Chains A and B, each alone.
Chain A
Amino acid sequence: MEGEGVETVSALQALTLHDPHVMERLLLDLSVNVTAMFRDPTFFLAFRQQVIPLLRTYPFSRIWVAGCSTGEEVYSLAIVLAEEGLSERTRIYATDVNEAVLDRARLGVFPLGKMQEYTHNYIRAGGTSAFSTYYVARYDGAQFARSLANGVVFARHNLVSDAAFNEFNVITCRNVMIYFDKPLQDRVHRLFYESLAVFGVLALGQKETIGRSPHEAAFEELAVDERLYRKIR
C-alpha cells in the first residue's frame, strides 16, 4: 500500500481492479520469485547424463520451463544445451504467470554478487567451460550472453487456469507446485501429462514427487534421487 501511495486495503483493491500495472506489481510482490542458477547441482548433472542423451535421439525438441520466474533456471538449461551442442535443435518455452518477472528473465541480468555461488554450482553440475565466459559484468549486474536466449520463447502462462499449448519432450517445474494445494497440484499434473510426448521427461524439485498424483502410473523414475520422471504411457 505504501508503494502505491494508498491508505487502505479497499483503495488498493480499487487500483488493482482498474490498473493492470498495479495488478502486475502486486502479483510480483505476492508471488514467490526466489530462484538460483544451477540450484541443486546434482539435478543438472543428472539432466546432462540422463536427459541429454534422450534429446540427442530427436531431430528437434521442445523444453517447457513452467513457472520460470526471473529465468535463472532457463539460462542454466541454455548453458547445458550449448555445451552439449544441442542449442540449434532445442527450443525452450519459459513461462510464468507474472509479466514483470518475464521481463527480468528476458533481460538475463542477474546480481553480480551471486556469481561466486553460481560458479560453484555450475562446476558441481558438470559444467565443461569457465562459467565467467557466459556473462559480462555491468555495474552490479552480470549480463548473460544474448546467444543463450536465442532459442528461448518467454511467454505468459497461468498454470492455474490456462490449457496445454504445445507438446514437449521435457517439462521442468521445480519448486513451483510446492505453493499449490493438493487439488491444484493434481490439475497441474494433468496439464503436464497432457503436454508431454510419450517418453517425455518431467523434472520436479528435490522434495516433490509424482507419487500421490493421479498420473503416477503413467511415469517411471529416470533418476530416483533427482526427481526425473519419464512418461511411459
Chain B
Amino acid sequence: MIAIGASWGGLNAVSTLLDGLSADVDPPIVLAQHRGPGSSRGTLEALLQMHVERPVSAPDDKEPIEPRHVYVAPADYHLLVEHGHFSLSVEARVQFARPSIDVLFESVAAVYAERAIGIVLTGANADGALGLQAIKRAGGVTVVQEPGSAAQRSMPDAALAAARPDAVLPVEEISRFLNELCVGAPR
C-alpha cells in the first residue's frame, strides 16, 4: 500500500505525483489531504481523477481495499485501514486535523508493515511525522518531499527529523521512485 499525506499545497503536489505514476503500479494508494470540514463533497476526488486512469474515490466505512485504486480520506473523518478494508472515525481532531495523516499512517504501519510505503508531502504543520516514523519502525519504505521543493516545508521538515526517511525527493522523482519500486510487485 502507498500512503500519502499532504496539507497546504497538497493538491498540486499530489496531482504531479499521480501524473508521473506508471499505469503498472499495482498497490492501492491512500491519501490523507487536509481540508476544511465544509469542503464540498467529491471535489478533491474529481480534481485528482483528471490526473489518473485508475478510479479515485472517498471510501465508505468497511469498503474493501482494491489494488490500482486511489482512495481519498473523506472530509471530516479520520480514515484507517484494517485487514482488507477501510474504517472511519469521527473522533476528535488530531493536531487540529481530521483527517489526520498520523492516524492513517499508524494504521497502515500496523496492517501492512514492511509492505507499506509512506510519503509525506508539502504542508504547514507537523502532521505525518509520527505516522511516518511508525511506518519506518514497522519496516516499511518512507519517502519525504524534498523540503526546498515543497510549497510549504514545515511538514516535510518535521517528517525528515522524525523518521530519517529512505528517500528525500522532489515530487516528480517520487513518482519515478514508486514506478521502480512497485511495478509488477503487488504490495
Contacts and interface: CB of A to CB of B under 8 A. Distances in A.
B58 A32 contact: no
Contacts of B23: none
A225 interface: yes
Interface string A207-229: 11101100000000000010000
A34 B90 contact: yes
B88 interface: yes
Contacts of A212: 62
Contacts of A225: 41
A208 B60 contact: yes
Nearest to B40: A42
What range describes how many residues of B lie at the interface? Answer: 10 to 19
Contacts of A175: 88, 90
A46 to B, nearest CB: 12
B62 A179 contact: no
A178 B61 contact: yes
Contacts of A206: 41, 74, 77
Contacts of A151: none
A37 to B, nearest CB: 13
A205 B61 contact: yes
A119 interface: no
Interface in B90-121: 90-92
Contact of A208 (B61, B89, B91, B92): B61
B76 to A, nearest CB: 8
Nearest to B62: A182
Interface of B, secondary structure class, is loop
What range describes how many residues of A lie at the interface? Answer: 20 to 34
Q: Most chain-B Cβ atoms within 10 A of its Cβ — which of A42, A120, A178, A205?
A: A178
Contacts of A209: 60-61
B87 A178 contact: yes
B147 interface: no
Q: Most chain-A Cβ atoms within 10 A of its Cβ — which of B41, B59, B62?
A: B62
Interface in B53-76: 58-62, 74, 76
A177 interface: yes
Interface string A174-212: 010111001001000000000000000000011111011
B58 A207 contact: yes
A208 B62 CA distance: 8
Contact of B60 (A42, A124, A207): A207
A209 B64 CA distance: 13
A178 B62 CA distance: 8
B73 to A, nearest CB: 10
Contacts of B89: 32, 178-179
Nearest to B41: A225
A32 B91 contact: yes
Interface of B: 38, 41, 58-62, 74, 76-77, 87-92
10 contacts: A32-B89, A39-B76, A120-B38, A178-B89, A182-B62, A206-B41, A207-B60, A207-B61, A209-B61, A211-B60
Interface of A: 32, 34-35, 39, 42, 120, 124, 175, 177-179, 182, 185, 205-209, 211-212, 225
5 smallest CB-CB distances across A and B, nearest first, come from A178-B61, A178-B88, A175-B90, A207-B60, A209-B60
